[in-house]
Amino acid sequence: MSGTAAPLIEPDRLATELARPDPPTLLDVRWRLVGPPGRDDYTAGHLPGAVFVDLDTVLCGPPGPAGRHPLPEPAALQAALRAAGVRAGHPVVVYDDGDGLAAARAWWTLRWAGHRSVRVLSGGWSGWLAVGLPGTVEVPTPQPGDVTVTPGGLPVLDADDAARLGAADDGVLLDVRAAPRYRGETEPIDPVAGHVPGAVNLPAPEYVTEGRYLTAEALRDRFAAAGVRADQPVGAYCGSGVTAAQTVLALHLAGRPDAALYVGSWSGWVADPSRPVATGPTPAG
């Protein structure tokens, strides 16, 4: 497979591809914000041939001023992906438990790193099992890959970019967190509640449920209702750049491959106390 892969693949289609002589590289990226690590789930059972890749320590850099899930260091990411068997130009499929969050961030990270042929398994591990496909506890030993990480494959916003997009009349910055967090009524994780001034609230459940997206047409309509225009820039953020990666994937499905991710997201924004914070139900607060 060459070029940019369609972002999603259904379980039956993946099963067919895995039966071929040279199947896609399969990465298990199951992850939880809190609770037991995803590796425990992988050990208990996973797709045949899948290699576990940790979102916190491989697909993201260490938490700090750039947020809770900042960009990984390219050389470290390249080494980890090669160890997982990722090959230059060879298709990759990523999956999580089924909510699609970690898989979307893995998709985004590989695309940002310059690997164009990467897809997310619709329904993840639970969707695979639901249609009667087999799991295994056998841990494969992949042949080392030769992928080269080349950052810049997808657009990124930093805090200054997010501020400018929020203030712009000819673009939209989407805040995809739950409405009470956007309004500043509650903040369960980060030290400050509210939103980036000018950001428009579009909670993720309005267009994706348990990793299942609206149709492309419905996605376009929903994003248009939030102010997204075909000829204007669009970016997205959440708490730490995981849910918003799913938003970027949804925007790709809606025909916006230029959509940008504010990787630092709210956790990065509030790391600098000098940055303004808006509250209330409107973009300006």
The candidate with the shortest Cα–Cα distance to 244, out of 125, 170, 157, 183, is 157
What is the CATH number that goes with domain 156-269? 3.40.250.10
The 3-state DSSP class for residue 47 equals: coil
Give catalytic residue positions: 238
CATH architecture of 8-130: 3-Layer(aba) Sandwich (3.40)
| Average pLDDT value for residue range 53-59 | 97
- Nearest 5°: phi and psi at 157? -105, 140
Q: Where are the domains of the chain?
A: 8-130, 156-269
pLDDT above 60 for 123? yes
pLDDT at 2: 43
pLDDT digits (tens, 9 = 90+) for 146-176: 999 999 999 999 999 999 999 999 999 999 9
pLDDT above 60 for 272? yes
**How would you label 42-60 residue by residue, b for 16+ Cβ within 10 Å and e otherwise?**
beeebbebbbbbbbbebbb
pLDDT digits (tens, 9 = 90+) for 82-93: 999 999 999 999
Do 8-130 and 156-269 share a fold? Answer: yes
